Structure 1
Amino acid sequence: MAKKESVPTRAAADALAVLGSQIRLARHERNWTAANLGARIGVTARTVTTIERGSPGVAVGTVFSAAAVVGLQLFGTDNEGLARLRRRGEERVALIPSREYAPRRGEDDDGLDF
């Protein structure tokens, strides 16, 4: 069975392209080959080039690993800032109820108005 192709929104495709370009530029600034970066994040050189092309088929964790290894600031902050954002997000998510229920509808009165 073939892998289902994901079709990103326009904004997601643009974000993937921007991040891929930034990863490639940072890799070249370090004079690393795609194979060098791939070895550092545990993927093949082909996967690195796929990331740099902005392909939506690469796992988001792999893309973020590549970005972090080449020194890109994710979400506009350094590693300590990311840790703070993560904790803040986890604290806020913990406040969300574990289940969402549909609102209850009133008792069915068979259309009677009294």
Structure 2
Amino acid sequence: MSKTTLPPFPSVLKQLAALGERLRLARLRRKITAELFSERMGVSRETLRRMENGEPTIAVGTYMRALRVLGLDGDIDKLARDDELGRKLQDLALPQAQRRRRAPKSPTSDGPTKPTRV
């Protein structure tokens, strides 16, 4: 059976390209060469090039190794931490308290009063 891969959404391609660029800049700020960085990550220079270009076929584990080498691996814990939409959907599914409107009781009567005719 052949494996079918769906093309990524255009917005995902932009996000991956931006992530790759941020990782490249982080590497350059630390004055780490591409050769040394790929060696520390345990990947080929070609894989590093593809990652820094934001190719969608790069495995998440490769990104994790890059973050680890750069000392940024704690940033991965921030992903999807605050699921605001999920909480709102969950709150909508909670049972709603039913509000009952009752006629206010008068302090002098024991029950509802009947209207008097004039």
- TM bucket normalised to smaller: 0.5 to 0.7
State the match for 2:95 in structure 1: none
Residue 38 of structure 1: how far off its partner (Å)? 0.8
Aligned length: 76
State the match for 1:14 in structure 2: 14
Structure 2 matches for 1:1-114, cutoff 5 A? 7-72=7-72, 73-76=75-78
- TM-score of the superposed pair, with normalisation by structure 2: 0.55
Give the residue type in structure 1 aligned to 2:16.
Answer: L
Give the residue type in structure 1 aligned to 2:64.
Answer: F
Deviation string 1:67-107 (CA, Å, 9 cap, x unpaired) is 23213322548xxxxxxx6xxxxxxxxxxxxxxxxxxxxxx
Give the residue type in structure 1 aligned to 2:12.
Answer: A
CA contact (8 A) 1:23 1:52 kept: yes
Q: Following superposition, which runs of at least 4 residues in structure 1 exceed 4 angstroms of deviation?
A: 3-6
Distance in structure 1 (CA, Å) of the matches to 2:71 and 2:59 = 19
Distance in structure 1 (CA, Å) of the matches to 2:6 and 2:36 = 28
Distance in structure 2 (CA, Å) of the matches to 1:74 and 1:4 = 28
Distance in structure 2 (CA, Å) of the matches to 1:55 and 1:67 = 17
Distance in structure 2 (CA, Å) of the matches to 1:38 and 1:4 = 29
- TM-score of the superposed pair, with normalisation by structure 1: 0.57
Relative to structure 1, the CA distance from residue 59 to residue 6 in structure 2 (aligned partners, 3 Å threshold; closer, same or farther) is: farther
Relative to structure 1, the CA distance from residue 31 to residue 5 in structure 2 (aligned partners, 3 Å threshold; closer, same or farther) is: farther
Distance in structure 1 (CA, Å) of the matches to 2:6 and 2:25 = 26
Question: Based on CA coordinates, which of the two structures has the bigger radius of gyration?
Answer: 2
SS at match of 2:8: coil
